[in-house]
Structure 1
């Protein structure tokens, strides 16, 4: 009996021992600490590590009350006197949160543009004047001190109207916030996380002015970052694919997935209901970018990837996790990356003696999906403001409505915000990125 009691006690004790926590992967790792927690990346060269970044990172505070910056005046000239600053702000604000929140959300590359203003201070800018450089660098400094295993890549990418006093302000703020945390550029671009942890360094500084090289900064041209300068997402995708094919793994590479609005594009966009950089990014570029990114084979195939409005879900997951999934392929996205229109029109039905309007749509399929729901949202200024939904068992559908059913009427020539979601395992998954489509 004693032996049986002992065995039973041992079995019970084994059952009471808590199971070891599952190893984190790109879909579950805490994004605020992903560099220090994601398995298998500590010895990967930084030039081969997928790193989510933001474009024009310090623009979240821009508003109609923000003054024009020297950079904006230099770029636009006298036209700044006729552009309402509220309009300028809507097309200058590239991110919805400050740099501190971006870092807590997993962003690890920040793109900063500096301007020396007539009041003698240095500010961040994107056409309009943003926060003081000291404030922005203080947010970054707070993060790198409290997250010593998270490495922040910081790009000081543009200097406007600078003199020695302006450069001295930047240097003072950099030294105060980062001090001995800056990685010496002499270590080379292929440095690894583990090497930086061992040295207690977690800031990689890029300085296009070449005035901070003695602090360890990389100089101008250290990042291969082509700029397509276009509002066409297809051109952007072609550019980043070409960059990937020619990626020098001994050099940092930044794949910019952003669109660049010009004056004509802004006017045309406004007439078609695209009234801000957020609209342009979310409704025009995010979907094809997400579709491309999801198709990149996991491994050492991408480096820095930047976007505007990083908080918008892509393929049912966040931009940060979509980039991190290029490490291990654990893409948790369960929403179609894209939806597009394939044609529309009208026809006369003798069966019900009415005119029908129709529109064909297709989207990227989801593995395991047994049904899809497509929803069309009308919006003021886009034509008929009528919403409708339809179910489909495949990744395409014809939405066919007769003009007598006003509750679900669609109008050829009108624009709709179109989104799709999938039914997987009996559960409806998140909606896809919204696309604005003219029927």
Structure 2
């Protein structure tokens, strides 16, 4: 590594990104948020997966839920984040991929969890309260919460969506940024600061998007594989057609095959995290090159608190194509 690069890496490691939005130069304050480059985390709550949970997906493994050894392997390979939600926020992540499910036969009919292969130990309402507390302490940092999937809602879907959306509205209240109805309402940092609003909620279900405070689904582009060359190839293609009129995500995440092909990765690597650490430097170098060619908006990563991930993404606000 060249000495200059080593010094830059050390600077990135030491610099705090807990309030990076408020420290952007003034010319970025009135930029529409989907023209900024924003770091985010993929499967944000997967650090909290419960070894005692049944396997939610993939379907191929659900029948082995009773075997703890299978659940243990599932947790090692579904855990895309190692830092908790506050640590991710403090590290500079501002977009959160929150996949929601209901636990089968839960005695509390309204209790919901997050999931990625397994359910989390922490329920949705507890995690959202934590995020709300952080948002209050950092009023000039705009958070984007992307709620999706809603596994296991079944015939009670309407009630559960109504319960969750009411909870979100009551919890965040006036901090919620409403969907823009006119061009002059487009979200910028300055507009959010002026209105004392700093939480955007994208809710991927028709039950919510008719309400002004819930934004539509945010499109997520990802490579759907473990081969970084193929991941880069797919993302390069997809970013060429990504809309600049709304939020979109470039996912720097690796994905195991949902078939026997997963075994070659499981046998080679101790966990998904070990494979990600090996791949992240290459993916970040690709991102820097790509951002000079095509616009980039939200960049979601596995292990988002790893050194240089947030620093690299935030720095693109100076160099990326708008």
Of 234, 241, 244, the residue aligned with 1:246 is 241
> Which residue number in structure 2 is paired with residue 324 of structure 1?
314
Superposition deviation, residue 29 in structure 1: 6.4
1:286-305 matches, cutoff 5 A: 286-297=280-291, 301-305=295-299
| Aligned 8 A contact 1:68 1:128 in 2 | yes
CA distance in 2, matches of 1:299, 1:195: 29
Superposition deviation, residue 88 in structure 1: 1.0
Q: Provide closer, same or farther for how the CA distance between residues 300 and 103 of structure 1 changes in structure 2, counting only shifts above 3 A.
A: farther
Superposition deviation, residue 243 in structure 1: 2.6
| Aligned 8 A contact 1:254 1:304 in 2 | yes
| Aligned 8 A contact 1:50 1:300 in 2 | no
> Which residue number in structure 2 is paired with residue 191 of structure 1?
187
Do residues 147 (structure 1) and 138 (structure 2) align? yes
> Which residue number in structure 2 is paired with residue 72 of structure 1?
57
CA distance in 2, matches of 1:300, 1:289: 16
Of 232, 235, 245, the residue aligned with 1:237 is 232
**TM value normalised by structure 1:** 0.62
Q: Provide closer, same or farther for how the CA distance between residues 296 and 86 of structure 1 changes in structure 2, counting only shifts above 3 A.
A: same
> Which residue number in structure 2 is paired with residue 36 of structure 1?
22
> Which residue number in structure 2 is paired with residue 59 of structure 1?
46
1:160-171 matches, cutoff 5 A: 160-162=151-153, 163=156, 164-171=158-165
CA distance in 1, matches of 2:239, 2:288: 15
**TM value normalised by structure 2:** 0.84
Superposition deviation, residue 278 in structure 1: 0.4
Q: Secondary structure at the match of 2:249?
A: strand
Of 293, 303, 307, the residue aligned with 1:309 is 303
| Aligned 8 A contact 2:54 2:62 in 1 | no
CA distance in 2, matches of 1:288, 1:127: 26
Q: Please give the per-residue CA displacement for 1:27-54, whole angstroms capped at 9, x wherever unaligned.
A: 9864111111121321111111000001
CA distance in 2, matches of 1:132, 1:123: 4
Superposition deviation, residue 160 in structure 1: 0.7
Q: Secondary structure at the match of 1:145?
A: helix
Of 268, 272, 283, the residue aligned with 2:264 is 268
Measured on the aligned residues, the alpha-carbon RMSD in Å equals 2.6
> Which residue number in structure 1 is paired with residue 8 of structure 2?
none
Q: Please give the per-residue CA displacement for 1:144-201, whole angstroms capped at 9, x wherever unaligned.
A: 1111111001100211111234223422431232112111113479521111111111
The number of equivalent residue pairs is: 296
Structure number having the greater helix percentage: 2
| Aligned 8 A contact 1:206 1:217 in 2 | yes
Q: Secondary structure at the match of 1:185?
A: coil
Q: Secondary structure at the match of 1:231?
A: coil
Q: Please give the per-residue CA displacement for 1:332-376, whole angstroms capped at 9, x wherever unaligned.
A: xxxxxxxxxxxxxxxxxxxxxxxxxxxxxxxxxxxxxxxxxxxxx
- Which one has a bigger Cα radius of gyration? 1
| Aligned 8 A contact 1:29 1:37 in 2 | no
Structure number having the greater strand percentage: 1
Superposition deviation, residue 311 in structure 1: 2.4
Q: Provide closer, same or farther for how the CA distance between residues 232 and 297 of structure 1 changes in structure 2, counting only shifts above 3 A.
A: closer
| Aligned 8 A contact 1:298 1:327 in 2 | no
| Aligned 8 A contact 2:239 2:294 in 1 | no
| Aligned 8 A contact 1:299 1:327 in 2 | no
Q: Provide closer, same or farther for how the CA distance between residues 309 and 29 of structure 1 changes in structure 2, counting only shifts above 3 A.
A: closer
Q: Please give the per-residue CA displacement for 1:256-307, whole angstroms capped at 9, x wherever unaligned.
A: 11111124343212322x0211022112x31221111232456982100011
| Aligned 8 A contact 1:55 1:306 in 2 | yes
Q: Provide closer, same or farther for how the CA distance between residues 91 and 288 of structure 1 changes in structure 2, counting only shifts above 3 A.
A: same
| Aligned 8 A contact 1:45 1:190 in 2 | yes
> Which residue number in structure 1 is paired with residue 275 of structure 2?
280
CA distance in 1, matches of 2:101, 2:314: 33
Q: Provide closer, same or farther for how the CA distance between residues 249 and 73 of structure 1 changes in structure 2, counting only shifts above 3 A.
A: closer
Unaligned runs of 5+ in 2: 1-10
Unaligned runs of 5+ in 1: 1-24, 331-439
